[in-house]
Amino acid sequence: MDNKELYLKKPWLQKYHPDVPATVDVTEKNLIELFDESAQKYANQTAVIFYGSKISYKQLQDEVNSFATALSELGVKKGDKVALYLLNSPQYVIAYFAILKAGATVTPISPVYTSSEVKHQLTDSGARTLVCQDILYDNIAKTGLKLDRVFLTGISDYLPTIRRMIGKSILRKAYSELEVPLPKLTEKEGFYRMKDLIKKTSPQPPAVDIDPAVDLASLPYTGGTTAQPKGVMLTHRNLIACQQEIKAAWPILEEGKEVILAFLPFYHIYGQVVVMLSTILDGGTMILFTTPDIDDILYSMEKYQASSFFGVPTFFEYLKEYEKTDRVNWKRLKMITCGADTLHKTTLEDWTRRTNSTITEGYGMTETSGVSHVNPLDGSKPGSFGLPLPNVTAAIIDPDTDEFMPVGETGEMILHGPNMMQGYWNRDEDNKKIFLDVDGMRFMRTGDLVRMDEDGYFIFYDRCKDLIKYKGYSVFAREIEEVLYKHDQIKAVGVIGVPDPKVGQYIKANIVLNPEARGKVSEEDMVNYCKENLAHYKIPKVVEFRGELPKTDVGKISRRELREELSEEV
């Protein structure tokens, strides 16, 4: 059997749990039809708990319908792009489904974007309508853009009176420099208060014909760890396929019974699909947090008996040392899942030692509608991000020749499945490069260096753009980082290649030391440590101690920014 045939035969299926099917029949319905079905079936159950305030599925559906009606009456139509510039809140859920019900496409904007980044997304997506957190509006004003409609909403709009001051204090901690705009702003033409529209508009949304395979539901923008963010075109069917594949891969989750902590940001594809869509479309309850306050999260886990926990590596890294982590019975949870970045081996080992529970890793991209791989709950392999989801085919190719690689060898991972994006918005040249035809199957290049082991488990090494070429050797930045993370005085590390005409690239390690080690551990100490644990060609030539490292808005170390800093210094 040649290398290509081996991957196409999906050897990982032998490691699936008996209850997990090899394929899933993706429904032909659209997201709005599935939302309405869930809302009607679980009408009297709680959909959202927001700092003690409870919203039933019936109330959620009524408010979605009212806001969808208002959007339509104010001119939002099928095919329009509507930007969501919101923190996690009930308004996010309401606006998301209302926009879809009006026939439009959601383009979520990160609340931590600068005004120039916001301007790029609004301009690139063509969004002329915006649903905006009131305290974030100043960033919109700074763009200088004239939008057709702006819907403002406040964090306290869905809090009971007794908790409204608590809501304001929550935001003050995270967004101390931001101010609520003057009330007169909503008196200007084209400005509206979301809550007022919902209150006065009858819930009679228009009937819009939506083709789930063609019509875009979401236009999120990539995180930009290696390049400027690009719009990712996701249809209703793409998102539904991912949600249904996840559900099939984790049969332990029960419809109508799950209680999920929702602190992962909804503007990010992980929070949007794995948490928000999966919970709401399956009749679960979301415990919603505007900011990821650890004490609130740990308290709510026990109070509401959360059934599963979805986090990112930086959060687990912090929790494993946090004094109150033991207040949660982690063994009680059905699953503890990590995504959005690589989980370092030391984090996993320390977590298991501390909590006597394990973390299940998964993998996904914005371009895969959130997820493409997960570890089986009964067969998680440490160091691997798991097996492809039902319907997904994965393979490893040589990034230079496109030849399929033998099992066990590292190359670029390519993916095929119904949850893969349609392409990048208005980026024809990028789309020509990212898709690959294999026997009539449309595969997508991930840009990630990965290998598949003999059991069909996939192991991440690095981004293709983060591969360091030193004197002809290929060096994985992540491999050096893993070694450095084992040093008990290192808090964070980011490794990059620095262009050099003599060697191609030399290795630079940017390191954040633990506070007690600063001034006591030297650059030479770090180099000597690497000499003891790494091959000679993997040893950093330069070590730089820093107070902090640049991160993306979901907590990843941004090697792109580290490289850009070098360019600015030249």
Q: Domain ranges for the chain, please list them.
A: 3-25+247-462, 471-569
Give the separation between CA 467 and CA 446, rounded to whole angstroms. Answer: 14
Integer CA distances (angstroms), 2 to 260, 351, 401, 445, in order:
44, 41, 16, 21
Strands 360-363 and 149-153: unpaired
Which residues, in sequence order, are CB contacts of 303 under 8 Å at separation 6+? none
Is residue 192 over pLDDT 90? Answer: yes
Structure-block tokens of residue 458: 């996939």
Give me the pLDDT at residue 226, please.
Answer: 45
Determine the pLDDT at residue 33. Answer: 97
Asked if 260 and 308 count as a contact pair (C-beta separation under 8 A), the reply is yes
> What would the pLDDT profile of 199-242 be if each residue is shown by its tens digit?
999 999 989 999 999 999 999 998 654 456 899 999 999 999 99
**Does residue 166 register a pLDDT over 60?**
no
In sequence order, the β-bridge partners of residue 259 are 285
Specify the pLDDT at position 282. 97
* pLDDT for the residue 82: 98
pLDDT cut 70: percent of the chain above it: 93
Name which of 20, 27, 412, 76 is nearest 243 in CA terms: 27
CATH superfamily of 471-569: ANL, C-terminal domain (3.30.300.30)
**21-79 pLDDT per residue, tens:** 999 999 999 999 999 999 999 999 999 999 989 999 999 999 999 999 999 999 999 99
Residue with the bigger pLDDT between 67 and 170: it is 67
Question: With 90 as the cut, is the pLDDT of residue 121 above it?
Answer: yes
Give the separation between CA 37 and CA 43, rounded to whole angstroms: 10
pLDDT at 561 over 90: no
User: What CA dihedral angle connects 27, 32, 37 and 38, to 10 degrees?
Assistant: 100
Q: Is pLDDT of 98 > 80?
A: yes
- CATH, range 3-25+247-462: 3.40.50.12780
The mean pLDDT of the chain is 90
pLDDT surpasses 80 at 181: no
Confidence of residue 568 (pLDDT cuts 50, 70, 90): low
Sole residue written with tokens 């809140």: 89
> Looking up tokens 């007022």, which residue turns up?
196
Residues in CB range of 511: below 8 A, 6 or more apart? 484, 490, 492, 493, 526, 543, 544, 545, 546
Mean pLDDT of 250-256: 94
* Closest CA relative to residue 277, chosen from 83, 47, 69: 47
Cα-based distances in Å from 288 to 113, 300, 301, 334: 22, 10, 11, 19
To which residue do tokens 């009858």 refer? 202
For residue 559, which amino acid is it?
R
* Contact assessment for residue 342 and residue 374, using Cβ atoms and an 8 Å cutoff: no
- What tokens does 491 get? 């808090």
**What six digits make up the tokens of 172?**
């003050």
Instruction: Give the model confidence (pLDDT) of 465-516 as tens digits.
Output: 777 888 777 788 888 988 898 898 898 899 988 888 778 889 999 999 998 8
Q: What is the pLDDT of residue 567?
A: 63
Contact between 246 and 371 under an 8 Å Cβ cutoff? The reply is yes
